[in-house]
A and B are shown apart, each in its own frame.
Chain A
């Protein structure tokens, strides 16, 4: 069946999967990241981070500003290996 409500397009994760793991007690963005790979794909969470934080905020009652939101790593935007390698 086609996925209905994909919030992480890099890893094709639906909102229901996020809610399921939050209900299991994983109320840290970094935990969801490590279970589902959300924000580890090419967009590093540009698409899903805000939506996930909103769900975490609803579940924990904490404002989004108080939640830990994971780390965005270089190179931020995917670039070709050949651009980084020194050709010798």
Chain B
């Protein structure tokens, strides 16, 4: 068997893997990405694709700020002919309880200190700005008008397309069987087709599939899948309804650039596996919950529902760190807010892989925090 060599191997073709591959190819490195299915087949392409700077931890805010600096010009930069549908219609966190409102205020204070233009809004201000919203019982909200939406599928595919144009090898429908290491150092991967590829540095960015892959070189990742559902409506006239996230039952909704509406809702009873099937319980539950908040949607039709897995960690924050296997970097465990971190995650991983100084302090994302019982809780997660 011939062994192929490259500078860098990326395992997992979600937005983080594709973005890292793009950054490495742009910098002139030889990089090969391996993806089990097509680019964005996992959580990236199944995401609600919200873009926000509303986080309650400094490093997430700084990373989110970087993302929002990239998105406005990204379609032009990647230049693939695929529209990214970037819109800044805003993102609102709606509180029904004092304790929730207090936390939102704390988050907003942090964001403002980092020059993120978030504001707190009263129920009266919300009603005046979006009279079609029927948010009975709310006591206030946090809102950021710079936040918004992007097409999660063309985002991931565009990174891959641009990377390929710059010389990267993107191998789709080419699942990795196992990582290979020797004397505590990463050596490469073996694919299910039996190909062996070697590189001194390997990035594992396979979402919840990172856990079984890391295990093949003896690394335990506390990352597990959890299914989340979404639905989409037929298009209606565009009125730029922002993302509205209701902090009572976790329901959320927004209008998309083509006029359709997306509804989602969290459910603790969803399976914690890789199931990407359908749920009648979701369809009825989310519709009941969302129609109360936006009754104008009653006569509109639902077109489709779908689902995909979050890659949860115990503290709902990502792991971006070198593993105990020398040369093996992981970037996974984004717990549901990973899609929008594609730009910053890719840039950061490129910096780490090429030995540059990372643009943010990644200490809080370290893998050892779980063993040290020094968890990094993100207060703003959905």
Residues on A facing B (Cβ under 8 Å): 24-25, 28, 30-31, 34-35, 40-42, 44, 71, 73-75, 78-82, 84-86, 88
Chain B neighbourhood of A86, CB < 8 A: 284, 288
Chain A neighbourhood of B164, CB < 8 A: 25
B residues 251-285 with Cβ under 8 Å of A?
Answer: 278, 280, 283-284
Chain B neighbourhood of A74, CB < 8 A: 278, 280, 283, 304-305
**Which of B172, B173, B303, B306 touches A41 (beta carbons < 8 Å)?**
B303
Nearest to B285 among chain A residues (CB) is A86
Q: Is B298 an interface residue (CB 8 A)?
A: yes
Our count of residue pairs bridging A and B at CB distance below 8 angstroms stands at 81
Nearest to B276 among chain A residues (CB) is A71
Q: Is B233 an interface residue (CB 8 A)?
A: yes
Q: Is B335 an interface residue (CB 8 A)?
A: no
**Which of A25, A42, A82, A85 touches B234 (beta carbons < 8 Å)?**
A42
Nearest to A78 among chain B residues (CB) is B301
The docked-state distance in angstroms from the alpha carbon of A82 to that of B299 is 6
The docked-state distance in angstroms from the alpha carbon of A2 to that of B82 is 21
- Supposing A75-B283, A81-B233, A86-B284 touch, asked if A34 and B303 sit within 8 A by C-beta, the answer is no
Q: Is B302 an interface residue (CB 8 A)?
A: yes
The docked-state distance in angstroms from the alpha carbon of A42 to that of B154 is 20
The docked-state distance in angstroms from the alpha carbon of A79 to that of B302 is 6
Q: Is the Cβ of A78 less than 8 Å from the Cβ of B234?
A: yes
Q: Is the Cβ of A81 less than 8 Å from the Cβ of B301?
A: yes
- A sample of 8 inter-chain contacts (CB < 8 A) reads A30-B41, A34-B45, A35-B154, A40-B232, A41-B303, A73-B306, A75-B283, A82-B291
Q: Is the Cβ of A42 less than 8 Å from the Cβ of B301?
A: yes
Nearest to B172 among chain A residues (CB) is A28
**Which of A35, A73, A75 touches B82 (beta carbons < 8 Å)?**
A35
In angstroms, how far is the closest chain B Cβ from the Cβ of A19? 14
In angstroms, how far is the closest chain B Cβ from the Cβ of A34? 4
Chain B neighbourhood of A71, CB < 8 A: 306
Interface size on B, residues (CB 8 A): 35
In angstroms, how far is the closest chain B Cβ from the Cβ of A60? 12
- Supposing A74-B280, A81-B287, A81-B291 touch, asked if A31 and B157 sit within 8 A by C-beta, the answer is yes
Q: Is B362 an interface residue (CB 8 A)?
A: no
Q: Is B40 an interface residue (CB 8 A)?
A: yes
In angstroms, how far is the closest chain B Cβ from the Cβ of A14? 14
Best-buried of A44, A79, A85 by chain B (most CB within 10 Å): A85
Chain B neighbourhood of A24, CB < 8 A: 161
The docked-state distance in angstroms from the alpha carbon of A31 to that of B304 is 18
Q: Is B340 an interface residue (CB 8 A)?
A: no
In angstroms, how far is the closest chain A Cβ from the Cβ of B207? 17
Q: Is B376 an interface residue (CB 8 A)?
A: no
Q: Is the Cβ of A84 less than 8 Å from the Cβ of B303?
A: no
Q: Is B300 an interface residue (CB 8 A)?
A: yes
The docked-state distance in angstroms from the alpha carbon of A31 to that of B80 is 14
Q: Is the Cβ of B153 less than 8 Å from the Cβ of A78?
A: no
Q: Is B375 an interface residue (CB 8 A)?
A: no
Chain B neighbourhood of A42, CB < 8 A: 234, 301, 303
The docked-state distance in angstroms from the alpha carbon of A80 to that of B301 is 4
The docked-state distance in angstroms from the alpha carbon of A76 to that of B280 is 12
Q: Beyond the given A42-B301, A74-B304, A80-B301, could you list 12 further A-B residue pairs with CB under 8 A, ordered by the A residue number?
A: A34-B38, A35-B154, A40-B232, A41-B303, A73-B304, A74-B280, A74-B283, A78-B234, A80-B302, A81-B301, A84-B302, A85-B287
Chain A neighbourhood of B290, CB < 8 A: 81
In angstroms, how far is the closest chain A Cβ from the Cβ of B193? 17
Best-buried of A35, A73, A81 by chain B (most CB within 10 Å): A81
The docked-state distance in angstroms from the alpha carbon of A42 to that of B39 is 24
The docked-state distance in angstroms from the alpha carbon of A85 to that of B299 is 11
The docked-state distance in angstroms from the alpha carbon of A71 to that of B37 is 14
Q: Is the Cβ of A40 less than 8 Å from the Cβ of B288?
A: no
The docked-state distance in angstroms from the alpha carbon of A1 to that of B161 is 29
Q: Is the Cβ of A44 less than 8 Å from the Cβ of B301?
A: no
Chain B neighbourhood of A25, CB < 8 A: 164
